[in-house]
Amino acid sequence: MAIKRTKAEKKIAYDKKLCQLLEEYSKVLIAVADNVGSKQLQEIRKGLRGDSVVLMGKNTLIRRCIKVHSEKTGNKDYLELSNLLIGNVGLIFTKGDLKEVREEVAKYKVGAPARVGLVAPVDVVVPPGNTGLDPSQTSFFQVLNIPTKINKGTVEIITPVELIKKGDKVGSSESALLAKLGIRPFSYGLVINNVYDSGSVFSPEVLDLTEEDLMDKFASGVSMVASLSLAISYPTIAAAPHMFINAYKNVLAIAVETDYSYPHGDKIKEYLKDPSKFAVAAPAAAAASGGAAAAAPKEEEKKDEPEEESDGEMGFSLFDD
């Protein structure tokens, strides 16, 4: 017969286990466990077995254990977790990829009936069609203003009806009707609402970011830094190329308006005096480059063709001496 442990012994064992997990793992997923049953939680533990551990418990006990562990080890990083322990939550310690672990947890969702008093997490729509109920059950539909007709001795719903809106509480009539129709509109499972990684806490949406998203955000940030630097004339690496170009434009403008001379400025002056020179030179240069490019393949073709041997080299001639 197993010896039953006291509450104090259970707390000591829990504290020891949590401290061990805090020392061993650096990544934690904080999951909301509302309406999650023990059997469902057991299946989640099985699915994560190997590189992850699911720990449930009272928030006050977890906070106390984290505080004591931080004081003993001097590691204050895990104190961030204490602020996230609100409501019915659990901790998933993992060594694997955070995104993969979250996706694995999301697989274990179980359908649930609409019980009276529950807050609907989604909109509930009753589809049209034959319900299989006898005509005596029409009172449920009349109370909820659902249009029906009698077809072949059974009640048939004519049009789809939004029975419950997201955020509304489930009433007794809605619950009874959905139960009669065999509809389980809700699904529950562990929902990740925060992620802890080596002292940093962030939203789980960050795990969905791809490399392209990061590059786009980085480029957007660099563009904003460059714009701000140019606006206040403060030199930064991001703004340096633009500053050099703008400075060169200013120098070129001064050279054009004055007698100051330098090679690039002189070319611009010539263009402004007679643009037709450059208009004629551009097609000529393009034609020359095109002709050279066309001649190169012809020369290669000639090189590739084998030279025909002359009659003299073959040892005979068409004309005898």
How confident is residue 270, by pLDDT bands cut at 50, 70 and 90? confident
Q: Residue 94: what pLDDT?
A: 92
DSSP assignments along 16-79, one per residue: HHHHHHHHH-SEEEEEE-TT--HHHHHHHHHHHTTTEEEE---HHHHHHHHHHHHHHH---TTH
Kindly tell me if the per-residue pLDDT of 293 is higher than 60.
no
Q: Residue 318: what pLDDT?
A: 38
C-beta neighbour count of 123 within 10 angstroms: 13
Tokens of 164: 């419950």
Please tell me the least confidently modeled range out of 17-21, 47-51, 109-113, 227-231: 109-113
pTM higher than 0.75, yes or no?
A: no
Q: Which domains does the chain have, with CATH numbers?
A: 7-109+189-207 (3.30.70.1730), 118-188 (3.90.105.20), 211-273 (no CATH)
What are the tens digits of pLDDT across the range 195-228?
998 888 888 888 888 888 888 888 888 889 889 8
Please tell me the least confidently modeled range out of 73-77, 221-225, 233-237, 285-289: 285-289
What are the tens digits of pLDDT across the range 36-58?
888 888 888 888 888 899 999 88
Mean pLDDT of the chain: 80
Tokens of 289: 């480059």
How confident is residue 250, by pLDDT bands cut at 50, 70 and 90? confident
Residue % of the chain over a pLDDT of 70: 85
Task: From residue 189, give the alpha-carbon distance in Å to each of 89, 96, 116, 194, 204.
Answer: 12, 20, 19, 15, 16
